[in-house]
Amino acid sequence: MGFTEVARQSWRMFLRDWRAGELHLLLVALLLAVGALSSVGFLSDRMQGGLERDARQMLAADLVVRSDAPLSPEFSRQAHADGLATAVVANFPSMASAIGETGQAGASRLSSLKAVSDGYPLRGRVRTAADAGANTPDAPAADIPAPGTVWVDAALLDALHVKPGDNIRVGNRSLRIAAVITREMDRGYGFGSLAPRVMMRFDELQSTGLVQFGSRITYRLLVAGSDAQVKQFTTWARPAAEQARGVHLESLEEGQPQVRQTLDRAERFLSLVALLAAVLAAVAVGIAARRYSERHLDACAVMRCLGVSRGSLRGMVRLEFIGLGLIGGALGVALGYAAHWALLAQLGNVIPAGLPAPTWRPAAFGFASALVMLLGFALPPLLPLSEVAPLHVLRRDVVGGARRQGWLAYGASALAFAALLLFAARDLRLGAMVAGGFVVGAIVFAALAWLAIRGLAAWARRSGPVGGAMGGIGWRYALAGLRRRGLGSALQIVALGLGLMALLLLAVTRNDLVAGWRQSSPADAPNRFVIDIQPGQDAPVLAQLRAAGLPDVQLSPMIRARLTAINDQPVTGERYTEERARRLAEREFNLSYTSALPDGNRVTAGQWYGDTTTPQISMEEGIAKTLGLKLGDTLRFEVTGQTIDAPITSLRKLDWGSMRVNFFVVMPPAALRDFPMTWITSFHLDAPQQGVADALVRQFPNVTVIDTGALLAQIQLILSQVIDAVQALFLFTLAAGVLVLYAALAGTRDERMRESGILRALGASSRQLRDVHLAELVTVGALAGLLAAFGAGALGWALAHYVFEFALTFNPWLPVLGIVAGVLCALIGGWSGLRAVLRQSALRTLREV
């Protein structure tokens, strides 16, 4: 039989099977799998496209030299010598205050101050509007703010109740609001993305009085020019930056590392969530393909009797499923494209706006996923069709030998699953962890489900009839049926339970986690931090706060230092492989001194140094572990050109939930008292006491008051958006779990029809049969919901205990919600698959036996 004839027969088979409903389940499974994967694919493709398109704009330059101290003029001189354009930017947190009618500062809010020089930005444009109205058009700014003016975010206008044209106080300066910032491409992530922006001229920064010792200012030198010029400057600047501690280069290829890292992690996590839905859908594909194979064995055996070769029969089946894969891929890609808009809406404040259109790659991946999943998971059950013996027409027990090919096909399925997993995770370790977690979770759920089914069936036999529509013989028969189909029943419970557990963890347990975290902090925990208190201001600041009704407030000294050596070995970021350790090695530390062990600190190793006058270090145990430090190691810190060496004599565990001022490194007072320092404090203010913070800023314009409650609320809003997006993806997972339940029930439909026919012949009524099936579905749903509830509760407890380190009380409503949700999903997904069993007459069933 030639290819044309094989293709024509395959098309006929496809049309016949479609009209008979044999392919509907396979198509829906593909639709869910491809939809989940391609929705994340479209989202990540557009984010990547936005990063590539806006790489220069996200830097506002071709190259950035970043430092936590004023840069050496050598960098600017070399850039000009290489023919590059330059601009300077300084970023740091500061207070912005409204100015009342009397000229006194009014309400104040923490802002992210950005001072820019002429020429900024070198790439891209800042967009501004005349006011914050929704109908006010914005336009690219032609220059930087004019002298005596600032540009601000709309959020700051709302917070200070001011409008364009009004003046605000920044440090010692009164500056007029000239425009509202609508788009700032190089803003990035981190603190600058949370606090409202205030943008001013760099040459007016000194006049504000905010540039003080200890101020946490990040300086950025922007350079732009031809690729050859930038390359020439980079060749000089990279070794110069390595010699100058705290100086780093951000290149065009890196974009903004924090942005790329944040988006890459989000993409990986969403991809793995989508993959969970795809795996469950693939299980449904395998179950449906097995049913398809069992129902087509007779027809294939007849074709073999009529002279159709094994190769031709194999070609017909493969072409039919390739066609189904293309259709499922097309519909799944369309579903994924629609779903990615919902993800974009959920992640509105998390990802860049104005993303470009997607490329062809997500669609190609969607089609490839459909074909890989279909051929990988459906191939093993379909092999017997091409290997069926003609004798099967006369003897049902004769099927044909395909054992070796079957094992090869199962191996191909495992490789296909591994390939999809690694492509989604793009990390061998992460992919292996997820695969291992999925397998272990499925095995545990399956074992518990199997034990529960056997236990319930044994209990039903011993208890005897209990009456009621769901009791008596019908109830016992339903449990006996679940036990007979033990593996299939466990598979239904596992699939539905995994989907429900994911949703319960996000929908219910996350609220318990947030509530538990809040309860772990005292009601009067500090919610204001005051930093940048200069020498000579400590006593007046302390007096003003105590006069305002805060008698217990205390100031702590803070010395900015850089770790330069460990046991006389120089410290560089390249010394560490872990990303957090590299950042810690390159950043400045905040040191402090005290003789008494701070409240909320507990020594876990070594001994507290007490009143000693010799230099010693007590270090937080977590940072010591990250940097590979131990008791007895000698550290060298550099403070404004001076160095101090001291051994680690104790490790401490800190109570971060107390919200007090905590330090990674503390020493005896005699060791640090003579170094330059600033002061920091924290205290609790109720809402009516906001005037205390405003008065402090009016009296000391250089200090910065950080409202941790407002920042945590903003962070929680962003996290809620991410969780909502993940929750939307988990709907695919739940739908796939319901589909597995439906597929498993459909796979046993013929067996159930025979059982129902026999029961009808023995006198069972339609109502009794219906009650048996309802009891079975309720049992499956209740067990799945119960396992999902306890699984979600266990994961929530593990997160609270090992990650967030606070006690979490188990929500007693969680099992109730799990059981109700499980029963509803089982009834929705299973009843449609069992209605045909109830409609068929006993005579027709017995004739087909």
**H or E element at residue 385:** helix 361-387
Residue 402 in tokens: 């395909």
136-143: which pairs have CB atoms within 8 A and are 24 or more residues apart?
A: 138/182, 138/183, 141/179, 143/118
Give pLDDT tens digits for 384-434.
Answer: 776 666 665 555 554 555 445 555 655 666 676 667 666 666 666 656 665
Alpha-carbon gap, residue 602 to 653, rounded angstroms = 5
Residue type, 590: N
In terms of DSSP H, where are the helices of 222-309? 227-243, 257-305
pLDDT given at position 471: 47
Give percent of the chain with pLDDT exceeding 90.
24
Count of alpha carbons within 13 angstroms of residue 50, beta-carbon side: 21
Hey, where are the domains in the chain?
Answer: 1-56+263-426, 57-259, 442-527+689-849, 528-683
pLDDT given at position 467: 42
Give pLDDT tens digits for 102-127.
Answer: 566 678 888 899 999 999 999 888 99
Give percent of the chain with pLDDT exceeding 70.
78
Structure-model confidence comparison of residues 463 and 138, the more confident one: 138
Q: What residues have CB less than 8 Å from 320, skipping those under 6 apart?
A: 10, 13, 14, 17
pLDDT given at position 470: 41
Least confident of 22-36, 189-203, 443-457, 544-558: 189-203
Structure-model confidence comparison of residues 182 and 848, the more confident one: 182
CB of 148 within 8 A of CB of 208?
no
Q: What residues have CB less than 8 Å from 762, skipping those under 6 apart?
A: none
pLDDT given at position 81: 95
Alpha-carbon gap, residue 300 to 298, rounded angstroms = 5
pLDDT given at position 189: 53
Nearest to 181 by CA among 169, 167, 190, 193: 193
Query: Mean pLDDT over residues 366-376, rounded?
Result: 80
Nearest to 629 by CA among 678, 579, 671, 581: 581
Least confident of 198-212, 274-288, 440-454: 274-288
Give pLDDT tens digits for 810-829.
Answer: 778 888 988 998 888 888 87
pLDDT given at position 1: 66
Q: 353 pLDDT exceeds 70?
A: no
Alpha-carbon gap, residue 231 to 62, rounded angstroms = 10
Q: 805 pLDDT exceeds 50?
A: yes
Structure-model confidence comparison of residues 515 and 702, the more confident one: 702
Structure-model confidence comparison of residues 551 and 726, the more confident one: 551
Query: Mean pLDDT over residues 794-798, rounded?
Result: 77
Structure-model confidence comparison of residues 333 and 745, the more confident one: 333
Q: 29 pLDDT exceeds 80?
A: yes
Structure-model confidence comparison of residues 423 and 578, the more confident one: 578
Q: 88 pLDDT exceeds 90?
A: yes
Question: Where in 567-697 does DSSP place strands (E)?
Answer: 569-570, 588-593, 601-606, 617-620, 634-639, 642-654, 665-667, 678-683
pLDDT given at position 252: 62
pLDDT given at position 294: 74
Q: 551 pLDDT exceeds 70?
A: yes
- Cis? peptide before 615, omega within 30° of 0: no
Alpha-carbon gap, residue 467 to 449, rounded angstroms = 25
Give pLDDT tens digits for 718-743.
Answer: 667 767 777 777 778 778 777 777 77
Q: 709 pLDDT exceeds 60?
A: yes
Query: Mean pLDDT over residues 141-155, rounded?
Result: 93
Give pLDDT tens digits for 647-675.
Answer: 999 999 987 766 788 899 999 999 999 99
Strands 601-606 and 642-654: what pairing?
antiparallel
Rounded to two decimals, the pTM is 0.65
How far, in Å, are 272, 503, 716 from residue 507 at the CA level?
19, 6, 15
Residue 787 in tokens: 């396992």
Mean pLDDT score of the chain, rounded to an integer? 80
Is residue 567 very low, low, confident or very high in pLDDT (cuts 50, 70, 90)? very high
Number of H helices, E strands in the chain: 25, 22
